[in-house]
Copies of this chain bind each other. A is one copy, B any other.
Amino acid sequence: MTDSRFQKDFLNPKSIAVIGAANDPARIGGRPIDYLKRFGYQGQVYPVNPKYKEVMGLPCYPDVRSIPGPVDMAIVALPAAGVLDSIRDCVTKGVKSAIIFSGGFGELGAQGEKMQQDIAEVGRESGITIVGPNCLGVANLRNRVIATFSGGFNTEPSRIVPGTLGLVSQSGALAGILLPMALEMGISFSYWLTTGNEAGVQFADCVSYLAQDPDTTVIGGYLESVRDGDAFLKAARAARASEKPLVIVKCGRSAAGARAAMSHTGALTGEDEIYEAVFKQAGIIRAYDVQELLDALYVFGLGLRLRGKKIAILGMSGGIGALMADICAECGLEVTSFSAKTTDELRRRLPPFGSALNPIDVTAQFWTDPTIITDCLQILLRDNLIDGVLVLTGLAIGSLDIFSDGVSTAVQSTNKPVIVTWMSTGHNEAVTRLRAKGIAAFDDPRRSVGAMGVLAAREDIINTPEAGELSVAFTSSHHKAASIIGSQNDVLRICREWVPDRPSECKVLTEYEAKRLLSMFGLPIPRGEIVRSVEEAVRAADRIGYPVVLKVQSPQILHKTDIGGVKLNLSSREELEMAFDGVVDTCRKSRPEAHIYGLLVEEMLPKGGTETIVGISQDPVFGPVIVFGFGGVFVEIMRDVSRRVAPLTRWDAEKMIRELRASAILNGVRGMPRRDVDALIQILLQISEMALHLRDVVAELDINPLVVWSEGQGAKVADALVVLK
C-alpha cells in the first residue's frame, strides 16, 4: 500500500501548479502561493483557476494542461467533487506529484472513501505521487517549497531557517500548532510533512525518505495509525540504521483517544499494546504529548549523547533537587554517589551549609557567589563516574551572563550532556538566552529530567544489537517442517495422517495435533500417543513409561479439565485402565455431541516447573504477534503479559521476559532454583519463526502452559491449542 515511487526529487519540484488558486492569501488556494513567493521559492509557480487571469501578480491558467512548461508538483485546493478530474488532468500533463488539501473523503464515510480509493487507483496506475487528501501539505525548508496552507507558516520567513529536523504528521492541525512551538525552542526543520488520509504517501514513506536524506539528522512524528505494518517497521529500521533518532507521539492509548483518531483520519487505530511493542522492537522513542516530543527533538537536535545512566544534580534548592531526584528514578536515571575525590573537591568549593551529596545544594550562596555552580559543574564533569549533569538555578537574572559563560566553557570541554533548568523570575528570557548559546535549557525541572531520560532511552536503542546478529539457530526439524507445510491444506492433510477420522475441514486442532505440529517445528513436547482403546492405552503407557496422564481429545472439548476429561499421575496399569473408562464415560455423558478423536496418553511431567503461556495472535496491521506471560493468576488477574511482533531477535525475547512485572519468578523464588531462561528464549524464537512461516495458516496459537524447569532442565509444552485461519 505504500508509495514506493516516493523519490528524493518529489520534495524538490522545479515548478508547482496551485489548482484552485485564490487571490486572498488567507484562503486555502491563496496561502501556498503567498508562502511560495514570500519564502523565496526559486522555481515556477503556476496558479490554476478558470475564474482568474492573474493571481497575486502571476499569470493564472484555466486548467493544468494549459500551463506552457512542465509541472513537477500540483497543489490541489478544490472541493472534493472536483479532485479526481483534476488529478486525471495532472496525469495527462505529466505532473509527478499531487498534494491534495481537499477534505471530504475517507473521514466522512463510505461515499468519501470511494472517491479516495479512486484517487489512490489513479495514483497507482499512472505513477503520480499522491499526498493526502485531507492534508495540510508539505514543506521543504531548504529549498523553500512551502506547499501548505497551514497557519503555522504565517510568520516572518526569516524566522524559519532550514535545519535538520524532519517532521511527519498524520494530523495537519497538530503539525501547524507544533511549528511555532518548535521555532520558539530554537528547533529548525529540514522537512515538515503532513500525510492526511494517505491515499498515496504514507507516514512510513516519509520516515524512509527522511532516513536517507542527508540534511535530516533527527526524525519526529505524530502518528494515529499505521496502515502497512511491514513498511512502518522497515522505515523505523532505516532510521535506526542511519543513526537518526526517531521520536513519535502516538495517540489512541485510551478508547476515547482511539475514537478521536478514527473520526479524524478515517483509519482504525490499532490496539495500543501492539504499538507499544512495535516501538520497543523498532527502536522508536515514544513521546506521550506534544511537549515531550518537542523536548526530545530539541536535545537530539543539539547532538547530545548520554553514555551511561549516572547523573549528578547540581542546584541551589535542596527541595527541588530532591524532587528532581525522584523524577530521575521515574525516568530510569541513577542519581549516583560521588567518588571520594569529587566529594572532597566539592566540599572545598561549597559553603559549610551546602550539601556535597548528590543532589548537590549550593544554597543561597549562589546569590553572592554566582560562579559557585559552574565551578562545581567543572568538578563533576571531570569525574569519569558521572555521565551527565542536571543544573538547577534561577531567580538572579543579573548573573545570567556569568553563569552562561561558565556553563558554555564547561560544556565545551566535555562530551557529556549538561541540561540547565532555569526557574522562576525571567525564566523565558533566561532560557532563550541560554539556548541561543547552545546550552540545553528548560524552565521546568520535569522537562529537564525528561529530556535527560530520553537521551538515556536513545542510548539503550543504540546499544541494542541489530537483528541480523541475533537470529535463532533453527533446528533441522524446523527446516523440514517449513518445507512440508506451505498452506492450511498441508496442515489439515498432516493432521488426518495423525488422526485418520478427524473431519478434514475442522480448523480447531486438538492438543495432540497442536503438539505434533509444534514438535515438527522443533518445539519440545511430552512423549505421548493418541489411543482409542484401553488396550492401546496400556501399550502406549508401556512405551512411554509410568506415571502417565490421560486426556480426552476432541475439538469440541476445549476445557478438558472442567468436565473430568483429564486424569493425572496414573502410576500403574490398573490405575490407567480404571481412569480410561472413567474419562470416556464422563465425557460421553457431559458432552454427548462431542466428536472424540481418542485419548492422549502422555508422560507425567515432573513437578516443580513454572507455568508460562506463549501465544500467537494475528494483528491486522503488523501480522503475527507473540504473547508471553506467566500462567494462572499472573495472566488472568494481573494481566501481566508482554508482546512483540514476529520476527523476534534474541534481545526482543529477553526483553519480553524481563519486562514482565513478575519476571523475578524466573530467578527462583520460595527456595526454588533459577528457571531455564535460555530454553525459554529459544522457544520464543522458535515460535516467532513458526508464526512467520505460518502467518497465512494459523489464526491463533495458545501454549498454556509451557512448563519451564530449573536451569539446564529445559521446558515443555504441557497443553496447546491451534486454530487455523
- Residues of A in contact with B (beta carbons under 8 Å apart): 26, 103-104, 107-108, 134, 151-152, 155, 169-171, 173-174, 176-181, 222, 224, 249, 251-261, 263-265, 288-291, 313, 316-323, 325-330, 335, 352-353, 355, 357-359, 361, 363-364, 367-368, 394-396, 423-425, 427-428, 444-446, 562, 633-634, 636-638, 640, 661-662, 664-665, 669-671
Q: Are B173 and A264 in contact (CB under 8 A)?
A: no
Q: Are B637 and A669 in contact (CB under 8 A)?
A: yes
Q: Are B358 and A326 in contact (CB under 8 A)?
A: no
- B263, B328, B395, B671: the one contacting A256 at CB < 8 Å is B328
Q: A317-B177, A327-B289 are in contact. Are A103 and B353 (CB under 8 A)?
A: yes
- Chain B residues within 8 Å of A358, by CB: 256, 259-260
Closest residue of chain B to A445 (Cβ to Cβ) is B289
Q: Are A256 and B637 in contact (CB under 8 A)?
A: no
Copies in the complex: 2
Q: In the assembly, what is the distance between CA of A639 and CA of B689, in Å?
A: 35
Q: In the assembly, what is the distance between CA of A254 and CA of B53, in Å?
A: 70
- Chain B residues within 8 Å of A291, by CB: 444, 446
Q: Report, nearest first, the 3 A-B pairs whose CB atoms are least far apart.
A: A171-B319, A264-B318, A256-B335
Q: A254-B328, A320-B173, A636-B669 are in contact. Are A108 and B224 (CB under 8 A)?
A: no
Q: In the assembly, what is the distance between CA of A191 and CA of B392, in Å?
A: 26
- B104, B173, B355, B638: the one contacting A352 at CB < 8 Å is B104
- Chain B residues within 8 Å of A320, by CB: 171, 173-174, 177, 290
- Chain B residues within 8 Å of A152, by CB: 395, 424
Q: Are A173 and B316 in contact (CB under 8 A)?
A: yes
- Chain B residues within 8 Å of A104, by CB: 352-353
- Chain B residues within 8 Å of A260, by CB: 313, 318, 321-322, 325, 355, 357-359, 361
Q: In the assembly, what is the distance between CA of A449 and CA of B634, in Å?
A: 32
Give A630 Cβ to nearest chain B Cβ, in Å.
9
- B321, B323, B328, B363: the one contacting A249 at CB < 8 Å is B323
Residue of A253, A258, A424 with most chain B CB atoms under a 10 A cut-off? A424
Q: In the assembly, what is the distance between CA of A263 and CA of B360, in Å?
A: 10
- Chain B residues within 8 Å of A253, by CB: 326, 329
- Chain B residues within 8 Å of A634, by CB: 633
- Chain B residues within 8 Å of A361, by CB: 173, 260, 263-264
Q: A254-B326, A329-B253, A424-B152 are in contact. Are A170 and B637 (CB under 8 A)?
A: no
Beyond A257-B335, A264-B319, list 12 extra A-B contacts (CB 8 Å). Answer: A26-B367, A134-B353, A173-B364, A176-B424, A254-B335, A256-B326, A260-B325, A264-B318, A264-B321, A264-B322, A288-B323, A291-B446
A-B contact pairs, 16 of them (CB 8 A): A26-B368, A104-B352, A104-B353, A173-B361, A173-B364, A174-B319, A174-B320, A181-B427, A224-B322, A252-B326, A256-B313, A259-B325, A259-B358, A260-B321, A290-B445, A638-B662
